[in-house]
């Protein structure tokens, strides 16, 4: 017996059916609201307010959770701060990528973005550079896309991207344990669902139940590389191979298109891997045409001095390696294609520069530690590649106070022996596990000095880097090593740029060593953090002691109004007399006036100094 839907009874029945269908969704909605009210689970937004100072934002500790099927594998990033209210004189750069981009195994000041930051700050001391690295280990273009889509509202002046090696085994990659589907719509839908508190509750409940029945625990001896790799054999040209290439292409094209629409300059880099000194991880056999066979042929050609053939063989062996921890060259082809397609996307050809700095143009252990991660020299080269591309675009319109060359950067970068050794120790331990399976070299011996001991503890994760740096500082202090103390303090100003105490220490230590240019630089950083008259006076005094009245004049505006006129007059007189001396180094009246002007400013100059 059918019911007329237009009758009152039929309408009630229809309404009842609709409510019955909607009821579960309404219940889920209110459950989600309740979970949010009681603050269950984690916020997965990219940024959160810095709890110690709500004027700043930082990367959310839990931003990566939604990309990993098992959150125990979810990797964590840096905690670099940036101001919620962007100051007018600030140049803000966000960095996106994977483990190489975050600086593994050195992290901290070993990362390429810190090399770049140090260089730009020295060249443009009047600018405030905020370079925020949002990279994570064990992720790929899905994470880079998701993070990048959230950046426009934070007013970046540029975005730097180095990614591509983890497309198969990074979170959500086709060969990873967190693989879901090759359908990007399905993947993006699931990522959105994982942001819900209800989904987090369901996942946590399932994990607890599974834990009770399985009793399995994570083996701490297993590397994350091994835990993330599910399909360890992905043949060149196979469906899985093509799926990884396609995934990267679509994700990066979408992201760069969004940045292009927002008129945000993007610096997109080619990726680099070890070609010469890393045999294929998995070769399909060992006969002619196999990765192993071609790699050996490359070694023979290299030994015979036939470097062109060697490079071709090494490249082909890498392409045929079925354990795809190194990006296939198709990834670099896509990167170049995207950079050519969008006006706001600028190519950073890091691979080309690595080849220029490699013997015979073949990338190997001279710059790469194992398969894809650079050594400190390699990270310096990586920063140089971004720097060159950056300068070519003239995004910073100010005239640099000085130009720091690549050689100067390598000499001055505040990296300690502990930084270098801790990275080497981490890679040595990494190589003892899969897929390298290389025992610790028999000749390896830990040094007896404090930096070797601390590097071992940091490398093994038994001590925080900041704590170890504090101990290096105290050791140098007891030894009376002022230069050693200064290197640590300058390193800490890069790590914690909002810390006034470290800026003050760096300025005072440089002044004590007669590094007056550097002292002025750090006093200026200190003034930006806390604008007080005494610091402004220190900036002027440092430039005067460096015999650079032109820079002292440029900073007169920091002083109280009443002190500016007389100082400006004296500085203009010194600058004028220096021009006279340039034409005639023995013009006695100009020499006398310079000495008198400096004396009036509290700086004693002899005749020889005045001539300079």
pLDDT class for 197, splitting at 50, 70, 90? confident
Give the separation between CA 287 and CA 131, rounded to whole angstroms. 49
Give the separation between CA 274 and CA 258, rounded to whole angstroms. 32
Task: Out of 514-518, 555-559, 607-611, pick the least confident.
Answer: 607-611
Judge whether residue 199 has pLDDT over 90.
no
Judge whether residue 450 has pLDDT over 50.
yes
Residue (of 184, 67, 186) closest to 137 by Cα position: 67
Residue (of 574, 583, 566) closest to 610 by Cα position: 574
Cβ–Cβ under 8 Å, residues 295 and 302: no
pLDDT of residue 180: 86
Give the separation between CA 354 and CA 350, rounded to whole angstroms. 6
How much of the chain exceeds pLDDT 90, in percent?
74
Give the separation between CA 281 and CA 255, rounded to whole angstroms. 32
Cis peptide before 322 (omega within 30 of 0): no
Query: Sheet of 47-49: strands edge to edge?
Result: 47-49, 56-59, 82-83
Token output for 508? 């005072």
Judge whether residue 590 has pLDDT over 70.
yes
Partners of 83 in the beta sheet? Answer: 56
pLDDT of residue 196: 83
Cis peptide before 435 (omega within 30 of 0): yes
Q: Backbone phi, then psi, for 359, in 5-degree steps?
A: -55, 125
Tokens 């973005």 belong to 113
Topology classification of domain 499-612: 1.25.40
Give the separation between CA 279 and CA 293, rounded to whole angstroms. 10
Cβ–Cβ under 8 Å, residues 535 and 526: yes
What integer is the mean pLDDT of 470-490? 96
pLDDT of residue 192: 87
| Single pTM value for the model | 0.91
Token output for 415? 């990296």
Tokens 């094209």 belong to 253
CA angle 520, 391, 94 (to 5 degrees): 80
What integer is the mean pLDDT of 367-374? 98
The total of other beta-carbon atoms located within 10 Å of residue 445's CB is 8
Long-range residue pairs from 30-34, CB within 8 A, at least 24 positions apart, any chain: 31/198, 32/196, 32/197, 32/198
- DSSP state, residue 280: -
With the C-alpha atoms ordered 133, 110, 142, 271, is the resulting torsion angle positive or negative?
positive
Residue (of 145, 177, 123) closest to 268 by Cα position: 145
Two domains, one topology: 47-282+321-412 and 499-612: no
pLDDT class for 8, splitting at 50, 70, 90? low
What integer is the mean pLDDT of 464-485? 96
The total of other beta-carbon atoms located within 10 Å of residue 303's CB is 9
pLDDT of residue 607: 46
pLDDT of residue 221: 43
Token output for 58? 């930082």
pLDDT of residue 1: 46
Judge whether residue 612 has pLDDT over 70.
no
Judge whether residue 325 has pLDDT over 70.
yes
pLDDT class for 225, splitting at 50, 70, 90? confident
Give the separation between CA 538 and CA 602, rounded to whole angstroms. 12
Task: Out of 42-46, 200-204, 324-328, pick the least confident.
Answer: 200-204
Report pLDDT digits (tens) over 334-349: 999 999 999 999 999 9
Cis peptide before 105 (omega within 30 of 0): yes
Judge whether residue 231 has pLDDT over 90.
no
Token output for 477? 């202090």
Judge whether residue 25 has pLDDT over 80.
no
pLDDT of residue 220: 45
pLDDT class for 610, splitting at 50, 70, 90? very low
pLDDT of residue 205: 73
pLDDT class for 608, splitting at 50, 70, 90? very low
Judge whether residue 190 has pLDDT over 60.
yes
Sorted by where each begins, the domain ranges of the chain are: 47-282+321-412, 283-320, 414-497, 499-612
Give the separation between CA 197 and CA 65, rounded to whole angstroms. 12
Cβ–Cβ under 8 Å, residues 366 and 381: no
As to burial, measured by CB atoms within 10 angstroms (0-12 exposed, 13-18 middle, 19+ buried), residue 360 is middle
Report pLDDT digits (tens) over 41-58: 788 999 999 999 999 999
Topology classification of domain 47-282+321-412: Rossmann fold (3.40.50)
Check residues 555 and 195 and name the one with the higher pLDDT.
555
* Strand 82-83 with 56-59, pairing: antiparallel
As to burial, measured by CB atoms within 10 angstroms (0-12 exposed, 13-18 middle, 19+ buried), residue 391 is middle
Average pLDDT over the chain reads 90
Report pLDDT digits (tens) over 484-517: 999 999 999 999 999 999 999 999 999 999 999 9
Report pLDDT digits (tens) over 163-188: 999 999 999 999 998 888 888 888 88
Report pLDDT digits (tens) over 122-140: 999 999 999 999 999 999 9
pLDDT of residue 510: 97
């Amino acid at each position: 017996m059918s019911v007329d839907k237009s009758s009152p009874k039929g309408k009630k029945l229809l309404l009842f059916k609709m409510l019955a269908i909607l009821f579960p969704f309404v219940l889920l909605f209110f459950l989600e609201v309740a979970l949010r009210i009681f603050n269950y689970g984690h916020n997965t937004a990219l940024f959160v307010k810095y709890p110690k100072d709500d004027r700043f934002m930082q990367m959310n500790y839990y931003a990566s959770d939604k990309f990993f099927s098992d959150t125990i594998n979810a990797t964590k990033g840096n905690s670099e701060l940036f101001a919620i209210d962007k100051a007018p004189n600030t140049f803000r750069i966000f960095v996106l990528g994977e483990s190489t981009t975050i600086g593994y195994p050195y992290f901290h000041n070993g990362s390429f973005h810190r090399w770049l930051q140090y260089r730009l700050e020295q060249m443009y001391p009047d600018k405030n550079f905020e370079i925020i690295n949002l990279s994570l280990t064990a992720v790929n273009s899905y994470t880079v896309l998701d993070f990048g889509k959230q950046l426009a509202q934070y007013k970046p002046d540029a975005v730097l991207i180095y990614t591509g090696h983890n497309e198969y085994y990074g979170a959500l990659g086709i060969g990873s344990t967190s693989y879901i589907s090759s359908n990007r719509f399905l993947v993006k839908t699931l990522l959105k669902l994982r942001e819900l508190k209800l989904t987090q509750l369901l996942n946590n409940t399932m994990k607890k139940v599974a834990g009770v029945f399985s009793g399995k625990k994570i083996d701490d001896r297993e590397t994350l590389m091994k835990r993330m790799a599910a399909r360890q054999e992905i043949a060149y040209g196979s469906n899985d191979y093509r799926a990884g290439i396609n995934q990267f292409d679509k994700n990066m094209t979408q992201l760069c298109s969004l940045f292009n629409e927002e008129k945000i300059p993007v610096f997109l880099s080619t990726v680099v891997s070890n070609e010469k000194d890393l045999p294929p991880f998995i070769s399909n056999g060992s006969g002619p045409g196999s990765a192993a066979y071609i790699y050996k042929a490359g070694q023979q050609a290299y030994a015979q001095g036939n470097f062109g053939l060697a490079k071709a063989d090494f490249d082909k062996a890498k392409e045929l390696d079925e354990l795809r921890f190194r990006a296939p060259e198709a990834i670099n082809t896509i990167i170049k294609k995207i950079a050519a397609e969008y006006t706001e996307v600028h190519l950073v050809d890091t691979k080309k520069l690595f080849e220029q700095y490699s013997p015979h143009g073949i990338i190997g252990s001279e710059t790469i530690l194992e398969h894809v991660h650079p050594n400190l020299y390699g990270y310096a080269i990586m920063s140089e590649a971004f720097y060159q591309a950056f300068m070519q675009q003239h995004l910073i319109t100010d005239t640099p106070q000085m130009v720091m060359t690549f050689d100067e950067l390598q000499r001055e970068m505040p990296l300690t022996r502990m930084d270098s050794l801790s990275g080497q120790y981490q890679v040595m331990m990494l190589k003892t596990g899969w897929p390298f399976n290389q025992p610790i070299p028999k000749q390896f011996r830990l040094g007896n000095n404090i930096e070797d001991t601390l590097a071992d503890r940091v490398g093994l994760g038994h001590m925080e880097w900041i704590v170890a740096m504090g101990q290096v500082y105290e050791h140098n202090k007891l030894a009376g090593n002022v230069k050693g103390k200064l290197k640590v303090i300058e390193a800490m100003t890069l790590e914690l740029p909002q810390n006034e105490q470290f800026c003050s220490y760096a300025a005072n230590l440089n002044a004590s060593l007669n590094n007056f240019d550097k002292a002025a630089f750090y006093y200026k950083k200190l003034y930006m953090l806390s604008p007080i008259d005494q610091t402004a006076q220190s900036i002027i005094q440092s430039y005067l002691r460096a015999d650079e009245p032109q820079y002292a004049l440029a900073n007169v505006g920091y002083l109280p109004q009443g002190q500016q006129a007389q100082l400006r007059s004296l500085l203009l007189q010194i600058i004028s007399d220096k021009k006279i001396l340039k034409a005639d180094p023995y013009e006695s009246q100009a020499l006398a006036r310079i000495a008198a002007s400096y004396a009036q400013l509290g700086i004693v100059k002899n005749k020889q100094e005045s001539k300079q």
